[in-house]
Chain A
Amino acid sequence: MRPELERLRLIEQQLLNGPATLPAKDWQLRLLLDGELAADTAAQQQLYQGLRLAGRRQLRRELAGIHARLYGPPASPWARLWQQLKPW
């Protein structure tokens, strides 16, 4: 892999506790020697948090699809309003 991708992998191993996670002491040393590593790590952490939100959104879409298949599509806003206002 290109060095840029290897760097992403190195940071990922630290953040996600992958099999190649460096011992804490080694990681601290890298942070001292590489002035941009801390900022890159924080940025990558933000990516994972954003991906988590995107994943939840995707899962909710899939659940809405399952609901529609099992119980029919959701009622339109007008139909819901009618349900609330109808006198019987």
Chain B
Amino acid sequence: MVLSPDFSSAPNLRAALLANREQALTQLYRQAFPPVRRHICGHGGSAEDAQDIFHDALVILYEQAVGGTLTLTSSASTYLVGISRNLWRHELRRRARLPHEALPDDPGPLAADAASETEETRFAVLDYVEQLGAKCKSMLLAFYYFQQPLTQIAADHDYRSVRSATVQKFKCLERLRESVRAAFRTETIEY
């Protein structure tokens, strides 16, 4: 019998997500998605709605867990079900107000913190991240979003030392900055 990993404390969950993200997320998915799907399908939603809402909840959980802002008073899967129920309640309210608009790509609570930011630039950066080489993209996301330690990033990307990985990370960041700058310079000249 395979024992489920212990996700009842935030540090354990964080460690599991950083050590093997796919395995930890799969475990959470197995435990928490069925009750979320039952709840949403029983409250006016479709299986597709359930999947979208559950993914939003997992993104929130991931960011809180690796960012060190998560406090768990129950298991992570119970917490996930709770977030999903809340998100679905908000979504139902939103649909009642705006019945013809689709589910937004980014959940409200996550987008709220960025209300004053320059949307255009952020989305331009998103496009340029996609155009980086696979290794650069993987390194930047591993460090800045997935918050993996540099020792792990160095090992995963075949660097002999943390220092080499650090230098490469900054070279990738520089390349991204130059792409964005060049694009904005071109736009300025065109206008």
Contacts and interface: CB of A to CB of B under 8 A. Distances in A.
- Chain A partners chain B: yes
Given A49-B114, A54-B129, A60 B59 contact: yes
Contact of B29 (A4, A54, A66, A80): A66
A63 B118 CA distance: 28
Interface in A46-63: 46-60, 62-63
Contacts of B124: 50
A8 B177 CA distance: 10
Interface string B136-148: 0100110011100
A30 interface: no
B48 interface: yes
Nearest to B171: A5
Q: Is the interface of A mostly helix, strand, loop or mixed?
A: helix
B185 interface: no
A12 to B, nearest CB: 8
Given A49-B117, A50-B123, A62-B25, A5 B167 contact: yes
A56 B59 CA distance: 7
A35 B29 CA distance: 50
A63 B25 contact: yes
A52 to B, nearest CB: 6
Interface in A25-48: 43-44, 46-48
Most A CB contacts (10 A, CB to CB) among B26, B30, B118 go to B26
Counting contact residues on chain B (CB < 8 A from A), the size range is 35 or more
Contacts of A67: 29, 33, 51, 55
Interface string B40-67: 0000000010010001001100100000
A70 interface: yes
B175 to A, nearest CB: 11
A8 B168 CA distance: 12
Contacts of B141: 51, 54-55, 58
Contacts of B59: 56, 59-60, 63
A50 B128 contact: yes
A53 B48 contact: no
B70 interface: no
Nearest to A6: B170
Given A43-B177, A66-B26, A51 B48 contact: no
A34 B144 CA distance: 26
Contact of B26 (A1, A57, A70): A70
Contact of B176 (A4, A9, A47, A64): A47
7 contacts: A5-B171, A8-B177, A46-B121, A47-B125, A50-B125, A50-B128, A56-B110
